[in-house]
Amino acid sequence: MSVRVAVIGAGVMGADHARILAKDVPAAQLQVICDASEARAIDLGETLGAKHVLTDPMAALSRDDVDAVLIASPDDTHAALSIAALQAGKHVLCEKPLAPTYADCLRVIEAEIRLGERRVHVGFMRRFDPAYTAMKTALNDGLIGRPLMMHNFHRNVSAPDWFTGQMAISNSAPHEFDIGRFMLCSDYVSITVAQSASGRTIAPVFMTLETADGQLVNIEVNNNAAYGYDVRGELVGEAGSIDLGAPKHATYNVSLQSAQRFDEDWRPRFSDAYRLQNRAWIDGIANGTPDPRLATAWDGLCSTLVAEAGVIALEAGSKQAIKTPAKPALYEQKRQEFPREEPAE
Amino acid sequence: MSVRVAVIGAGVMGADHARILAKDVPAAQLQVICDASEARAIDLGETLGAKHVLTDPMAALSRDDVDAVLIASPDDTHAALSIAALQAGKHVLCEKPLAPTYADCLRVIEAEIRLGERRVHVGFMRRFDPAYTAMKTALNDGLIGRPLMMHNFHRNVSAPDWFTGQMAISNSAPHEFDIGRFMLCSDYVSITVAQSASGRTIAPVFMTLETADGQLVNIEVNNNAAYGYDVRGELVGEAGSIDLGAPKHATYNVSLQSAQRFDEDWRPRFSDAYRLQNRAWIDGIANGTPDPRLATAWDGLCSTLVAEAGVIALEAGSKQAIKTPAKPALYEQKRQEFPREEPAE
Amino acid sequence: MSVRVAVIGAGVMGADHARILAKDVPAAQLQVICDASEARAIDLGETLGAKHVLTDPMAALSRDDVDAVLIASPDDTHAALSIAALQAGKHVLCEKPLAPTYADCLRVIEAEIRLGERRVHVGFMRRFDPAYTAMKTALNDGLIGRPLMMHNFHRNVSAPDWFTGQMAISNSAPHEFDIGRFMLCSDYVSITVAQSASGRTIAPVFMTLETADGQLVNIEVNNNAAYGYDVRGELVGEAGSIDLGAPKHATYNVSLQSAQRFDEDWRPRFSDAYRLQNRAWIDGIANGTPDPRLATAWDGLCSTLVAEAGVIALEAGSKQAIKTPAKPALYEQKRQEFPREEPAE
Amino acid sequence: MSVRVAVIGAGVMGADHARILAKDVPAAQLQVICDASEARAIDLGETLGAKHVLTDPMAALSRDDVDAVLIASPDDTHAALSIAALQAGKHVLCEKPLAPTYADCLRVIEAEIRLGERRVHVGFMRRFDPAYTAMKTALNDGLIGRPLMMHNFHRNVSAPDWFTGQMAISNSAPHEFDIGRFMLCSDYVSITVAQSASGRTIAPVFMTLETADGQLVNIEVNNNAAYGYDVRGELVGEAGSIDLGAPKHATYNVSLQSAQRFDEDWRPRFSDAYRLQNRAWIDGIANGTPDPRLATAWDGLCSTLVAEAGVIALEAGSKQAIKTPAKPALYEQKRQEFPREEPAE
C-alpha cells in the first residue's frame, strides 16, 4: 500500500524531497505539493505529477488523503507544522532543524509525549550516507576499538552575504552535532568555539566538544572554503581510525595535474543519503516499524541545544557547558540493532 | 502510467532486476515473475509483491497485461525469447549476451528489422555507471582531445572450476567490448589475445583490439584475481587521460595499513548502473523515447561478433580480423546527444 | 673544504645524524663521536669511520679540529652544550628542543646575542621535508590566498609507559608548534588544550592555538594511535587548501583490501627531511651563508614558550595566553627568500 | 678510501650523474669531467669542483688517477668506451643502452669474459627506485604468490619532432624491458607490438611480451602523453597485485579540484633511484662487492636484444620470437639475496 505524502515547501529542499519521493520511492504517493507561492507549487506539482497543489500548509497536512507530511518550509515554521501534523495523526519527516530554538523543540517533544508515539523524524540524512554507514559499521564491528575522537570538516564553496559565524554554528554545524552523537552514542557536555580572523570573508569557525564519555568531537565549519563542497570526517579509536570517503567517479590527468572534482554543493555528495533516508522513512510507515537510524524529535532537540550553547561559546570566547535534560521515557525505547547495509544501497 | 514488466528468470540476475524494478523504479509495475523452478518464482514473487508467478516464459511474455519483458534466463534462451517478445509486441531488456552466437544475434536483428522498430535492448549496464558516465562526459567535453587508447581491467575474485580462457573472452569481456565501442564510437577491426601460463588457476587473458579509427583497446580479464572484484579503466587521448574511479566509502587505518575494501563481486560496484539502466529503460517505454545510452540489439550483435573472433584468436595465437557487417538502416538513427548527468543520479 | 663535525650523543637520534653526515653529506667530515657510554661511542665511531671517539662532551666540542657540533644528547643538556659550543666558536645544530624550559632557552639566546652572530640552529627538520616544502611553496605562490587555518595530526604507534599528556605537549607537539609558525609567519597568542578520556591508554591531546594574525592552528597529538606513524597536515586559505602528502611507494591489493603501509616510526617518513636539513646546515657553514629555512635559537625558544603555556592550559582546562617577548635585533635579520626546491632534492 | 671517477659526457645525464657523485656520494671523488665541448666540460667541472677537465674520453678513462668511469656520452659511443675502460682496468657505469645494437653489446660481453670479471654495469636505475624496490620486496615476501603478469605505462609530456615509434621501442621501452625481467627473473621469448593511429602526434606504442615462464609483460610507451611525466606499473600474481606508487608530496584543493602534480620529466620522479644507484655502484667498488641489484652488461645485452625484436615486430605487425643466447658462465654467478631496504633510503 502506498504512503500518501504532502510535501510542505517547494524550495530547493522541498523540490528535491518531492522528486525523490516521486522518482525513487515506489511505496510513496506524492499526494500534495504545498507552497506559499502558488506558481511554484503548481510548477513542481505538474512536473512530478502530484495529485494536489495547495498554498495553505495547515490545510495540506490535515487532509484525509494524506498519511505523512514532509516539512521543508522555512525553519521557524518547523515546530508549529510538526505539532499540527502530529495532532492530525500524521507521520512527519521534518527538515533540520526541528526548530531553531530549544524551547520550540521542547514543544514538539511534549506533543509527541502526549501522543505517546514517536511520529516525528528529523532530516539528518547523513545517518544514511553510505560513507558514514561504512564508518558506523566498522566501529560496531570493533575494528578500531573504543572511539576516542571524531574530526569533522564541513566546507561550502561560498556563503551568502548575510551569513555569520553564529549561523555556521546554528545552521551548518547541526549536521555534525548529530552525526557525532549518532556515531559515538554519547551526549555532549561542553563546547568551545574559536574563529579565525579574516578581513573579507566569513571566517571559518572551529569547535571542540566533549562528550559524557570523555570523547572529543572537533568540527570545522568553513562556509567560504571557495575550492569546493567538501565534507570530511575521521573517527579515531584506540586501535585505529576510519576516514570518511567522498566517492569520486573519475580522475582527470591533464595539464600536469591528476585531479578529482569537488561538487559545488551538497546535493551530489548526499544524493544517496537523501534517497535512502526518504525510502527508509516511507518503508517504516508502510511496515509500522520505523528505521532505527532515523533521527527522532529528541535527536533534533539535542542538536538545537548544542547549537545554542555553541553560539554563546563563540560570543563568550570560553568553554560552555551543555546540560542535556533527562531523556523522556518515550525516547528510551531500545534501539534496534544497526542494520548492516551494502555501501550503495 | 505504469509499465507492466514480466521478469523471465529468477536466478541471481533476475532477482536483482526484479528487486530494482519493485524497489527503485516507481514507473514499473512488477507484473510477472517467471522461472522454470516454480518454488523459486513463488518465493521471489511473494517477496516483491509480483502480481503473477509463472513457469512458462512464452506464456509470461505474451500476456495482455504485460508491456515489457526483462530476460534474465540462461544465455542460450535469450534470442528465442527476445524474438518471441518482439512478436508479441513487447519491449525487451535482455541480459547480456543478446545471444552466445553471432548467428542467433542476427535472428533477433532480422526480427526487429521486420518489426521496423528498435524494441530490444541489451543489459550493458556499464553505460549507466556514474564512473563511465564521468569518463564519457569528459571525453565529449574535449578534455583529453582525440581518444587514442583505452585500457580495461576486469578482475573477479575467483572463477568456477568449469571456467576457461575462452569463457573469459565470451562471457566476461563482452562488457569491455561494449564499453570500449560505446566510448570510442568506432567498431573493432582486429583482436589479438595472449594468455599467461599458470599451473593451478585459470590464467589471465590479455587482449589488444584495434578500431576502425586506429585506436587501441586493451583488455585484461583475470577471473581468478583472488584479491577482490576490481574493474579499472583508462581512456587516453592526445591531451590527457581519464581514469575510471571505483567509489570507496571509507579508508580503514589499522595494523600499519591504510586500506580500502574491494567488493567480493560485481553487484555493489555496479548497483547504481543497474538501477539507472533499468529506470532509463522503463522511463523510455513510458515516454516513448528510448534513452540513447541503452545498448541496442545491434550493439549486442557487435559484442558477440568480437567475442567469437577473440576465441579464435586465442586458439590461433595470432591476430584475427573482425569484419563488422554494414549497419542496417534501422540502427543508423541518429543518436540523441549524450545526456549530462550528475554523478550519483 | 670539509666541515669537521663532532656528534654529541650516540643514541637513536645521534646515530642517525652521524650516519647522514658520513653517508649523505660529502662536505661533512665526521670528526668526533661522543657519548657517555664509551662502548656505544666506539661502536658507532668504527662503523662510520669517525676520526675520534670521546666520552666527555665538553672536550669534544672544544677541540681545535672541530668546526661544528651536532647535539643529540639528553634534552636537559642541550642548552649548556650549545652555550659551551658557542663560546668555543663552533657552529651548532641542536636536536629539538633547544631546552626544555624557557629560562634555559633564554640563556642560549643571550649567549648568541653576546656573540653577535647566529650560530645555533635547532633540528626542526620538517622545514626541509619535501611535503611541507611543497605546501610552503604553494602558499608563497599565492595558490590558496591568505592562510586562515592549519590542521596538524601527529600520531605514533605507541608511547612508553612513562609518557603523559603533558609530554604530548612538551615533547611531541613542538614539531607542530614550529612548523605552524614557520608556515604562517606569525607568533602564537593563545593555546587551549583538551584531552580525551581513556581508561587504558595515554589519551590523545587536542590543541587549538591562535596566532597574532588571527589564524587558527589545531594540533592533535595521539601518541598511542596504534595503527601507524602518521603525520598529517592541511593548510587552509581563503581560496583553497593544501593537504600534506606522505609519500607511499606501493599499493598492495590482497585479501579484499587495497592497502598502503604506514611506517612504524618517524625515521622513514622524515629521512629526506633529516638528510636535506643536515646538508643545508653543513653547506651553510662551508659557504658562510646559513640556509634561511634552518630553525634559529629564537625559533627554538618560541617553541618551548608555547609548550610551557600548553602544559598549563591542559591543567587549567582553559585558554592560556602566550606572550612572546620582543624579538632581539639579532633575529630580525631579513630572511632570504624561501628557496624553490624540487620535491625530492 | 675515495673512488676516483671520470664522468664522460657533460650533457643532461652526465651533469646529473656528476652532481650526484659530488653532492650525494661521499665515497666518490669527482676526478675528471670530460666532454667534446670544452666549454661545457669546464663549466660543469668548475661548478662541481672536479679535479680535471678533458675533451678526449680515451685520455680520461685511461688516467692512472681514475678508478671508475661513468659513461654518459652519446649512445653509439657506449660500447667502445666501455671496452676501452675495461682494458684500462677501470670500473664502468654506462648509461643505458649498453649499445644500440646487439652486435655491439656482444663485444662488451666478450671483452668482459676475456677479463674474467664483471666490471661493467648499466644504468637501469629503476632497480633502485624505492617504489620498484617495494614491489620487488613484496613479491619476494610471497605477498601476491606466483607472478603472472606485469603492466607498465611509460608516458612523457612530449617527444622531439624526430622521435618515431621505433624509438619508443629502442629508446624508451628498454627501462621497462629491464625492470620486467628484473622483477620476474625470466627472459622474454616473444614480443608483439601495436601502435595507435594519430594524425598529428607520435602515436602511443603498445607491446605484449611473453616470458620463458609464461608470464605476460605489457608495456605502453606514450612519448606524447601531454599531461605529464607518468610511469605506472603493476605486478599481478596469483594471490593479489602490487601497484607502483609515484610519491606525491601534496594535494592542492582549488577551483573545484583536488589535484596532485605530475613532474615534467623523469628527473624528479627518479632522483632517489639515480642517487641510490650511483651510491651502490661506488660503495661496491670501494668494498669489492658489487651490489646485486646493479644491471650487468648481460642485462644490457638482453634489453637491446628485445628492443631489436620489438622494432621488427612493429614493422611486421606480428609476433616476433626472441631468442636469448645461453648465458655465459661469467654472468651465472649466484646473485646475492635482494637486500631489504627502507623505502626512502
| Chains in contact with chain A (at least 3 beta-carbon pairs closer than 8 A) | B, C, D
Judging contacts by C-beta atoms under 8 Å, the chain A residues touching residue B342 are: 267-268, 271
Judging contacts by C-beta atoms under 8 Å, the chain A residues touching residue B22 are: 26
Convert C96-143 into a string of H (helix), E (strand) and C (coil). Answer: CCCCCCHHHHHHHHHHHHHHCCCCEEECCHHHHCHHHHHHHHHHHCCC
Q: Which residues contact C190 (CB under 8 A, 6 or more apart)?
A: C209, C210, C319, C320, C321, C322
Q: Suggest the residue from B230, B254, B257 to mutate for an interface test with chain C (most C CBs closer than 10 A).
A: B257
Flag the least confident range among A83-97, A101-115, A157-171.
A157-171
Closest chain B residue by Cα to residue A251: B243
Would you call D249 and C249 a contact, using CB atoms and an 8 Å cutoff?
no
**Distance of residue B237 Cα from the nearest chain D Cα, in angstroms:** 8
Q: Which residues of A83-98 are buried (b: 16+ CB within 10 A; e: fewer)?
A: bbbbeeebbbbbbbbb
Is the model's pLDDT at C342 over the cut of 60? no
φ and ψ at residue C234, rounded to 5 degrees: -145, 135
Strand pairing category for B3-8 and B28-34: parallel
Give the separation between CA D33 and CA D54, rounded to whole angstroms: 6
**Distance of residue D193 Cα from the nearest chain B Cα, in angstroms:** 10
Judging contacts by C-beta atoms under 8 Å, the chain D residues touching residue B215 are: 196-197
Minimal Cβ distance to D319: which of B198, B214, B318: B318
Q: Which pLDDT tens digit goes with each residue over C25-71?
A: 999 999 999 999 999 999 999 999 999 999 999 999 999 999 999 99
Minimal Cβ distance to C201: which of A197, A208, A238: A238
Q: Which residues contact C302 (CB under 8 A, 6 or more apart)?
A: C177, C178, C181, C187, C188, C324
Would you call C134 and D250 a contact, using CB atoms and an 8 Å cutoff?
yes
Specify the pLDDT at position A200.
64
**Distance of residue B308 Cα from the nearest chain A Cα, in angstroms:** 32
Average pLDDT, chain B: 94
User: Domain limits of chain D?
Assistant: 3-122, 129-268
**Distance of residue D146 Cα from the nearest chain C Cα, in angstroms:** 13
Q: Is A120 helix (H, G, I), strand (E, B) or coil?
A: strand
Judging contacts by C-beta atoms under 8 Å, the chain A residues touching residue B130 are: 249
Report ipTM (2 d.p.).
0.94
Q: Suggest the residue from C148, C156, C157 to mutate for an interface test with chain A (most A CBs closer than 10 A).
A: C148
Q: Which residues contact A4 (CB under 8 A, 6 or more apart)?
A: A29, A31, A65, A66, A67, A68
**Distance of residue B328 Cα from the nearest chain A Cα, in angstroms:** 35
Give the separation between CA B86 and CA B118, rounded to whole angstroms: 10
Q: Which residues contact B223 (CB under 8 A, 6 or more apart)?
A: B155, B156, B158, B159, B163, B167, B168, B172, B202, B204
Judging contacts by C-beta atoms under 8 Å, the chain B residues touching residue A22 are: 26
CATH topology (fold) of A129-268: Dihydrodipicolinate Reductase; domain 2 (3.30.360)
Judging contacts by C-beta atoms under 8 Å, the chain A residues touching residue B240 are: 252-255
The pTM (predicted TM-score) of the whole model is 0.95
DSSP B20: H
Give the separation between CA C121 and CA B229, rounded to whole angstroms: 53
The more confident residue out of D1 and B279 is B279
Specify the pLDDT at position C200.
64
CATH class of A3-122: alpha beta
**Distance of residue B18 Cα from the nearest chain A Cα, in angstroms:** 13
Q: Which pLDDT tens digit goes with each residue over A233-281?
A: 999 999 999 999 999 999 999 999 999 999 999 999 999 999 999 999 9
Would you call B254 and A239 a contact, using CB atoms and an 8 Å cutoff?
yes
Would you call D261 and A261 a contact, using CB atoms and an 8 Å cutoff?
no
Beta-carbon pairs below 8 A across chains A and C: 100
- B338 burial via Cβ count (<10 Å: 0-12, 13-18, 19+): middle
Would you call D247 and C25 a contact, using CB atoms and an 8 Å cutoff?
no
Q: Suggest the residue from A184, A241, A318, A320 to mutate for an interface test with chain C (most C CBs closer than 10 A).
A: A241
Tens digit of pLDDT at every position of chain D (345 positions)? 699 999 999 999 999 999 999 999 999 999 999 999 999 999 999 999 999 999 999 999 999 999 999 999 999 999 999 999 999 999 999 999 999 999 999 999 999 999 999 999 999 999 999 999 999 999 999 999 999 999 999 999 999 888 888 999 999 999 999 999 999 999 999 999 999 986 667 889 999 999 999 999 999 999 999 999 999 999 999 999 999 999 999 999 999 999 999 999 999 999 999 999 999 999 999 999 999 999 999 999 999 999 999 999 999 999 999 999 999 999 986 544 444 443 333
Would you call A204 and C148 a contact, using CB atoms and an 8 Å cutoff?
yes
Is the model's pLDDT at C179 over the cut of 60? yes
Give the separation between CA A275 and CA C272, rounded to whole angstroms: 48
Q: Suggest the residue from B216, B217, B256 to mutate for an interface test with chain D (most D CBs closer than 10 A).
A: B216
Judging contacts by C-beta atoms under 8 Å, the chain C residues touching residue D131 are: 249-250
